């Protein structure tokens, strides 16, 4: 699991000039704010993101089960918009190409992200092992600590059973007694996974 500062540092370490760097920023931000698996993210199509409602549609999740996930914070939307503006200029990168496609408009390989994450970690001085799944762990912990019910977390992560989610939260270091304590803030629990139309500030407001 990563801290918020570490996630922001990893995103900030992506190139600000290279087209692939802009894409990678958007990809990492979406992984963090939705908790979807890296394979699910790389399979996303442009129309799977609803910017008004702040949702991401996973068409083929684990077990070939579709689900709709919610961006628990819309600060990633400006990065998506930056990437989409550049993506439009890529030959062949229309609706038929994956959202986070390569410069050749093909699907980005999972192995590319697997090698990217350690490079970014070294760049920002994170010494422990960093992988894309850590963003999923961090998202789950963010929701749990904010008091989001486990059933909602289960649906967000696409787990087959609630017991899987409970074990998952234990593995990422979130204790159930901590959850009960933070659930004294019901507003966060109700709204964190509630898709509602919102305006999207620019990246400078967050990063």
Mean pLDDT, residues 186-203 taken together: 44
d(CA 162, CA 169) in angstroms, rounded, equals 11
If one counts the domains in the chain, the total is: 2
End-to-end CA distance of the chain: 20
What are 97-104's contacts with CB under 8 Å, separation 24+? 98/42, 98/43, 98/44, 98/45, 99/44, 99/45, 99/46, 99/48, 99/49, 100/23, 100/26, 100/27, 100/41, 100/42, 100/44, 103/19, 103/20
Pair (51, 145) in one structural domain: no
Task: Give the confidence band of 169 by pLDDT, cuts at 50, 70, 90.
Answer: confident
Pair (74, 117) in one structural domain: yes
Report yes or no on 197 lying in a domain.
no
Report yes or no on 138 lying in a domain.
yes
pTM: 0.83
pLDDT tens, position by position, 52-63: 899 999 987 676
Pair (103, 178) in one structural domain: no
Q: Give the residue numbers spanning the domain of 35.
A: 4-130
**pLDDT of 83 over the 60 cut:** yes
Pair (59, 151) in one structural domain: no
Mean pLDDT, residues 133-160 taken together: 90
Question: At which residue do the structure tokens 């967050």 appear?
Answer: 206
d(CA 58, CA 47) in angstroms, rounded, equals 11
**pLDDT of 64 over the 70 cut:** no
Pair (112, 65) in one structural domain: yes
Pair (68, 80) in one structural domain: yes
Helices 133-145, 4-13: inter-axial angle, 10-degree rounding = 140
By percentage, how much of the chain surpasses pLDDT 70? 82
Q: Which segment of 31-35, 75-79, 147-151, 167-171 scores lowest on mean pLDDT? A: 167-171
Task: Give the confidence band of 181 by pLDDT, cuts at 50, 70, 90.
Answer: low
Pair (112, 24) in one structural domain: yes
Mean pLDDT, residues 188-207 taken together: 42
Mean pLDDT, residues 102-119 taken together: 96
Q: Which residues are catalytic?
A: 37, 62, 133, 136, 159, 168
What is the pLDDT, as a whole number, of residue 176?
53
**pLDDT of 207 over the 80 cut:** no
Report yes or no on 202 lying in a domain.
no
Report yes or no on 14 lying in a domain.
yes
Task: Give the confidence band of 160 by pLDDT, cuts at 50, 70, 90.
Answer: confident
**pLDDT of 186 over the 50 cut:** no
Task: Give the confidence band of 203 by pLDDT, cuts at 50, 70, 90.
Answer: very low
What is the pLDDT, as a whole number, of residue 198?
44
For 40, the token pair is: 């699910």
Report yes or no on 115 lying in a domain.
yes
Pair (77, 22) in one structural domain: yes
d(CA 201, CA 141) in angstroms, rounded, equals 25
Mean pLDDT, residues 137-146 taken together: 89
**pLDDT of 8 over the 90 cut:** yes
Report yes or no on 160 lying in a domain.
yes
**pLDDT of 134 over the 80 cut:** yes
């Amino acid at each position: 699991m990563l801290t918020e500062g570490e996630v922001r540092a990893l995103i900030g370490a992506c190139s600000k000039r290279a087209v692939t760097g802009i894409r990678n920023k958007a990809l990492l931000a979406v992984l963090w704010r939705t908790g979807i698996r890296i394979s699910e993210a790389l399979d996303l199509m442009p129309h799977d993101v609803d910017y008004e409602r702040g949702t991401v549609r996973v068409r083929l999740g684990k077990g070939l089960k579709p689900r709709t996930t919610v961006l628990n914070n819309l600060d990633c939307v400006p990065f998506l918009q930056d990437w989409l503006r550049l993506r439009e200029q890529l030959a062949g990168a229309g609706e038929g190409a994956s959202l986070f496609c390569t410069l050749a408009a093909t699907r980005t390989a999972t192995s590319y992200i697997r090698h990217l994450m350690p490079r970014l970690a070294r760049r920002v001085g994170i010494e422990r092992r960093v992988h894309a799944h850590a963003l999923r762990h961090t998202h789950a912990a963010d929701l749990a600590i904010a008091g989001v019910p486990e059933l909602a977390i289960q649906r967000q992560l696409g787990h087959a059973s609630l017991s899987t989610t409970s074990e998952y939260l234990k593995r990422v270091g979130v204790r159930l007694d901590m959850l009960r304590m933070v659930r004294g803030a019901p507003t966060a629990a109700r709204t964190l996974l509630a898709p509602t139309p919102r305006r999207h500030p620019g990246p400078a407001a967050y990063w």
